[in-house]
Amino acid sequence: MSLLIRKLDSTQDGFRQKLDALLAFEASTDDAIEAAVTTILHDVKQRGDAAVLEYTNKFDRIPGGGAAGMAQFDIGQAELDAALAGLPEAQRAALQTAAERIRVFHERQKQELQGFSYTEPDGTVLGQRITPLDRVGIYVPGGKAAYPSSVLMNAIPAKVAGVAEIIMVVPTPDGVKNQMVLAAAAIAGVTRVITIGGAQAVGALAYGTATIGAVDKIVGPGNAYVAAAKRRVFGTVGIDMIAGPSEILVLCDGTTDPDWVAMDLFSQAEHDELAQAIMLCPDADYIAQVEASIDKLLPTMPRQSVIRTSLLERGALIKVRDMMEACEIANAIAAEHLEISAENPQQWADLIRHAGAMFLGRFSSESLGDYCCGPNHVLPTSRTARFSSPLGVYDFQKRSSILYVSEAGAQTLGLIAAELAYGEGLQAHARSAELRLQPVRFKQPS
């Protein structure tokens, strides 16, 4: 028996408690981080570029940075284009194809949301208008977790939405730039790239400085400092969700090559020791096969130590009564990524109420979705798929209600509004409606 991953059985006593304990994840708040972020944000708000420059030279150790001013942090279009041109052919083609597929999917989201208006018999017009945000900031982590795919997934929906200015910030510790990230920015149509990061970059985007205009929303992943800074500037600007550790839940009927499922679990586990990989299956023999595949394949993985910790601490292979029960448990888990690796997967998908993204059928590995299928890979984690959605074009648009009340409409609506306003004790509301009545008539409040 493998000692790499826990095994649970839904018929055991205390199964639900064990499952709840396994799923429990509370993002800890670190007082030292909170305090540091508060100071940095305050400083950037007060001193602008001077503060950004100091923090960047301090934290990212930019060689000879002190004298060169903020201009040194701008990467021009020529450098982005050169990064793209300099990629190996296969990599460039893969990035371009992925970008094009992501664009096509997100264009569908845009088509779906066109706004509407309707005219009532008395000439009153009501509607909803959809407009893009003006300016968006995209945070891209630097260093080892620099992911060009994240650049595409965050920037392309903004571009499709029609956002005029997309400002990407990416720290370059010790001045080291990731060429694939710059190439992705070129492909995605980012309008400005600035090599700053951390809470100072979030502050610059939220409050604006002399050289960086304030944005309306900040999206993209980051470390604990970035997450804390985003939480703090929320309200001044919009933010995306603060993501928890990544999760995969595989529902398997026992008909998929067990090596495939094992590798799918690895592909989540390799992200992070806190990542969570769980399989639900009604077939005990098959579970044993997946376990054997895990044992066999783990030593072949370059990131095996991360995978091992993740599987040991947060993974599970769970024997369920049947696929119906698997779907029920999946709804309780509300996973970020849900693979239904089964014959006729649609029958089970129809029973799923909560999941960030559903991968149907055994050829639909999560990794295909992570890079190039088209749907977004920024997805709700930590059970938030119960109430939130993948990142999309809609995150870079907002709605405004439109109300044009005709003179005739004001006669009927005015009486209703006045009645309710008096009922709520808001007499100016009532009078404002009644002044539009012809002849003007004020109800005596009861």
The residues that are catalytic are: 336-337
Length of the chain measured in residues: 446
Whether the CB-CB separation of 198 and 59 falls below 8 Å is answered with: yes
Backbone φ and ψ of 124, nearest 5°: -65, 135
Distance of closest approach, residue 67 Cβ to a second copy, in angstroms = 32
Q: What is the DSSP letter of 234?
A: B
Helix (H) or strand (E) holding 372, with range, is none
| 285 three-class SS | helix
Distance of closest approach, residue 325 Cβ to a second copy, in angstroms = 18
Closest to 22 (Cα-Cα) out of 383, 389, 386, 388? 383
Tokens of 412: 């009927």
Distance of closest approach, residue 263 Cβ to a second copy, in angstroms = 4
**Neighbouring residues of 422: CB distance < 8 A, sequence distance ≥ 6:** 430, 443, 445, 446
Sheet of 74-75, strand order: 74-75, 192-194, 165-169, 135-139, 217-219, 238-239
> Is 179 annotated as ligand-binding?
no
Instruction: Kindly tell me which of 66 and 445 has the beta carbon lying closer to a second copy.
Output: 445
> Is 366 annotated as ligand-binding?
no
Distance of closest approach, residue 17 Cβ to a second copy, in angstroms = 15
> Is 139 annotated as ligand-binding?
yes
> Is 270 annotated as ligand-binding?
no
How far is the C-alpha of 126 from the C-alpha of 63, rounded, in Å? 58
> Is 42 annotated as ligand-binding?
no
How far is the C-alpha of 237 from the C-alpha of 396, rounded, in Å? 12
Distance of closest approach, residue 324 Cβ to a second copy, in angstroms = 18
Could you write out the three-class secondary structure of 116-180? EEEECCCCCEEEEEEEECCEEEEECCCHHHCCHHHHHHHHHHHHHHCCCEEEEECCCHHHCCCHH
| 358 three-class SS | strand
Instruction: Kindly tell me which of 72 and 331 has the beta carbon lying closer to a second copy.
Output: 331
Distance of closest approach, residue 3 Cβ to a second copy, in angstroms = 20
How far is the C-alpha of 132 from the C-alpha of 279, rounded, in Å? 40
> Is 337 annotated as ligand-binding?
yes
**Neighbouring residues of 410: CB distance < 8 A, sequence distance ≥ 6:** 433, 436, 437
Instruction: Kindly tell me which of 39 and 128 has the beta carbon lying closer to a second copy.
Output: 128
Tokens of 292: 């054997």
Max CA separation in the chain (angstroms):
87
Instruction: Kindly tell me which of 17 and 387 has the beta carbon lying closer to a second copy.
Output: 387
> Is 246 annotated as ligand-binding?
yes
Instruction: Kindly tell me which of 47 and 399 has the beta carbon lying closer to a second copy.
Output: 399
Q: Give the C-alpha distances (Å, rounded to integers) separating 336 from 46, 123, 186.
A: 39, 46, 29
Instruction: Kindly tell me which of 34 and 54 has the beta carbon lying closer to a second copy.
Output: 34
Tokens of 293: 């595949």
Instruction: Kindly tell me which of 74 and 273 has the beta carbon lying closer to a second copy.
Output: 273
The CB density around residue 390, as the number of other CB atoms within 10 Å, is 19
**Alpha helix ranges (H) inside 254-405:** 258-269, 284-297, 304-314, 323-333, 346-349, 366-371
Instruction: Kindly tell me which of 9 and 107 has the beta carbon lying closer to a second copy.
Output: 107
> Is 377 annotated as ligand-binding?
no
Distance of closest approach, residue 48 Cβ to a second copy, in angstroms = 16
Distance of closest approach, residue 211 Cβ to a second copy, in angstroms = 19
- For the annotated binding site for Zn(2+), the residues are 268, 271, 370, 429
Binding residue ranges? 139, 200, 223, 246, 268, 271, 337, 370, 424, 429
- Binding site for substrate: residue ranges? 246, 268, 271, 337, 370, 424, 429
